[in-house]
């Protein structure tokens, strides 16, 4: 017997027992064991791809802030993920998935408490939902979405917010605000009952992060030197290669974000749909790149890397509400319009003197709204009224709750670093001396060596 044939027979020996034949003999249907295993595997693979997006956010932000604030941004990104993981375990998971146990029907879960995994070496009989997937895989996957919401806020408020108030806000965002509004759609709450559709979270994840970032930016105010009268000052970036790397990492992670939101991989139809979602997600990102590449050339006579990077992300956010139904051409168009929205919303924010360091508000809030509305163009079950209802309800709740928390933190802990600290850089003033090299500790910027002009800051 040849080696390839032996390997084939061995594979068949292990795989075939996990499948059973349909009763009519016309097709092969996966056994319940196989469905459980493949669904769980989908969540685990999707989960670690979305986890990798945390690295993408960290690299994007590290590249787009000034060198004197890089270590602080990396500290925030490491810390916010740990906060999200802990708070989602303590409160968020059960608040988000009440499983029919409502304290206020359709609005607030009654199943508040610690997330609990299945027993070690669980059997079919003891599995929480043998027809679906392992509880641990579902918890792991959903946690990554929660952490993503907090990552969105981090970049917008960079270079002037204190670390501990930011983390205090993250506690409320990941433990209460995000899971509560997510329960309204993904936990079977009133928005789900009203027919609101959001496949992977253009509104439930991305616009929530965008609303939290917008309210924080309004209360914090712009960075020193960002606006000089009506003139917008271009503050320097630390490393655009890091920003580009971060964008590509986010692009990769988005395949897990959207693809695993199919929530099933146990049938031929499911795996075909996942592959369709992958292709549409990629097409939308490409559309966002092309539209911003062309538009930045038209507006500024030369392309802008910063604009193109956010164009890719805007396209990805836009397709997230419905990555399954569109054709490749329609997905490209949805992503392309997302990129155009990024450009003009960024211009509008600058006119209003709302300082968003990385473009999180145009990318995640504006394109999240656009993508949620665009569902009506491809999904026959979508209603424009239901989509507007979901956008409005989640947006109003998140904006009001976030503004209240930011305001309370500003009164108690104080949100913004002092002028001297901001000019010197948060790395030197707020972090251990290990955050920057020896030569900078000796001759670098300090509060006593502040720049003479705001633009130099």
> Which pLDDT belongs to residue 28?
61
Tell me the C-alpha distance between 403 and 216, whole Å. 7
Specify the DSSP element, H or E, that contains 377. none
Per DSSP, the residues of 118-182 read: PPTT--TTT-TTTTT--HHHHHHHHHHHHHHHHHHHHHHTTTTB-HHHHHHHHHHIIIIIHHHHH
Q: CB neighbours (10 Å) of residue 108?
A: 15
> Which pLDDT belongs to residue 252?
98
Instruction: Provide the token pair at 90.
Output: 């303590």
Tell me the C-alpha distance between 110 and 126, whole Å. 23
Q: CB neighbours (10 Å) of residue 106?
A: 16
Convert 174-194 to b/e letters by CB count within 10 Å (16 or more is b): bbbbbbbbbbbbbbbbbbbeb
How far does Cα 22 stand from its chain's mean position? 40
> Which pLDDT belongs to residue 432?
75
Token pair 């705001």 is found at 454
Contact 210, 197 (CB under 8 A): no
The one-digit pLDDT tens for each residue of the chain (457 residues) are: 554 454 444 444 333 344 443 334 445 678 989 999 999 999 999 999 999 999 999 999 999 999 999 999 999 999 999 999 999 999 999 999 998 899 999 999 998 889 999 999 999 999 999 999 999 999 999 999 999 999 999 999 999 999 999 999 999 999 999 999 999 999 999 999 999 999 999 999 999 999 999 999 999 999 999 999 889 998 999 999 999 999 999 999 999 999 999 999 999 999 999 999 999 999 999 999 999 999 999 998 999 999 999 999 999 999 999 999 999 999 999 999 999 999 999 999 999 999 999 999 999 999 999 999 999 999 999 999 999 999 999 999 999 999 999 999 999 999 999 999 999 999 998 887 655 555 444 434 433 333 434 444 4
Total-model pTM = 0.89
Checking DSSP bridges between strand 102-104 and strand 108-109, what pairing results, if any? antiparallel
Q: To the nearest 10°, the Cα dihedral for 156, 161, 162, 168?
A: -50
User: Which is nearest to 204 in space by CA: 257, 132, 281, 279?
Assistant: 257
| CA end-to-end distance (rounded Å), the chain | 74
- Domain ranges within the chain, ordered by starting residue: 30-412, 419-449
Per DSSP, the residues of 288-349 read: HHHHHHHHHHHHHSS--HHHHHHHHHHHHHHHTT-SSSS-HHHHHHHHHHHHHHHHHHHHHH
Helix (H/G/I), strand (E/B), else coil: 283 = helix
Tell me the C-alpha distance between 78 and 74, whole Å. 6
Convert 9-48 to b/e letters by CB count within 10 Å (16 or more is b): eeeeeeeeeeeeeeeeeeeebbeeebbbbbbbbbbbbbbe
Q: Selecting from 3.40.50.1100, 3.90.1300.10, 3.90.1150.10, 1.10.3430.10, what CATH number does the domain 30-412 have?
A: 1.10.3430.10
Contact 68, 223 (CB under 8 A): no
Checking DSSP bridges between strand 28-30 and strand 227-228, what pairing results, if any? unpaired
Using CB atoms within 10 Å of the CB of residue 7, give its burial: 0 to 12 exposed, 13 to 18 middle, 19+ buried. exposed
> Which pLDDT belongs to residue 27?
53
CA torsion sign for 293, 299, 302, 308 is negative
> Which pLDDT belongs to residue 433?
60
Report DSSP state, residue 110: S
- CA-CA distances (angstroms) from residue 31 to 20, 301, 304, 425, 455? 6, 59, 52, 59, 66
Token pair 């690295």 is found at 55
Tell me the C-alpha distance between 416 and 221, whole Å. 9
């Amino acid at each position: 017997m040849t080696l390839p044939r032996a390997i084939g027979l061995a594979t068949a020996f292990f795989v075939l027992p996990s499948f059973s034949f349909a009763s009519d003999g016309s097709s092969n249907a996966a056994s319940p064991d196989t469905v459980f295993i493949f669904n769980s595997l989908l969540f685990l693979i999707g989960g670690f791809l979305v986890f990798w997006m945390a690295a993408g956010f960290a690299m994007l932000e590290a590249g787009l802030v000034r060198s004197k604030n890089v270590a602080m941004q990396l500290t925030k990104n490491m810390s916010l993920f740990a906060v999200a993981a802990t708070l989602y375990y303590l409160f968020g998971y059960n608040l988000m998935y009440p499983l029919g146990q409502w304290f206020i029907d359709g609005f607030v879960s009654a199943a508040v408490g610690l997330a609990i995994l299945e027993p070690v070496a669980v059997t079919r009989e003891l599995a929480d939902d043998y027809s679906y997937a392992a509880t641990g895989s579902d918890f792991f996957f959903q946690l990554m979405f929660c952490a993503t919401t907090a990552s969105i806020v981090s970049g917008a408020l960079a270079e002037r917010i204190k670390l501990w108030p930011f983390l205090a806000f993250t506690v409320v965002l990941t433990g209460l605000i995000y899971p509560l509004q997510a329960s309204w759609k993904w936990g079977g709450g009133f928005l789900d009952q009203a027919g609101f559709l959001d496949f992977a979270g253009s509104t439930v994840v991305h616009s929530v992060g965008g609303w939290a970032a917008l309210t924080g930016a309004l209360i914090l105010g712009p960075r020193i030197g960002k606006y000089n009268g009506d003139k917008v000052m271009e503050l320097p970036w630390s490393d655009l290669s890091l920003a580009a790397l971060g964008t590509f990492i986010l692009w990769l992670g988005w395949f897990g974000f959207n693809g695993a939101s199919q929530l099933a991989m146990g049938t031929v139809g499911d795996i075909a749909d996942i592959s369709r979602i992958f292709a549409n997600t990629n097409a939308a990102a490409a559309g966002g790149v092309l539209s911003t590449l062309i538009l930045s050339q038209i507006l500024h006579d030369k392309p802008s890397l910063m604009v193109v990077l956010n164009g890719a992300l805007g396209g990805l956010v836009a397709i997230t509400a419905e990555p399954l139904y569109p054709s490749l051409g329609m997905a490209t168009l949805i992503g392309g319009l997302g990129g155009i929205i990024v450009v003009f919303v960024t211009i509008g924010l600058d006119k209003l003197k709302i300082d968003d360091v990385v473009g999180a508000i145009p990318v995640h809030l504006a394109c999240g709204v656009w993508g949620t509305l665009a569902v009506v163009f491809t999904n026959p079950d979508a209603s424009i009224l239901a989509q507007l209802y979901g956008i409005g309800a989640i947006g109003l709740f998140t904006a009001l709750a976030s503004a209240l928390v930011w305001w309370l933190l500003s009164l108690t802990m104080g949100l913004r670093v002092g002028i001297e600290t901001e000019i010197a850089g948060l790395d030197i003033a707020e972090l251990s001396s290990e955050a920057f090299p020896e030569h900078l500790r000796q001759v670098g910027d300090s509060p006593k060596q502040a720049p003479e002009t705001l633009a130099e800051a």
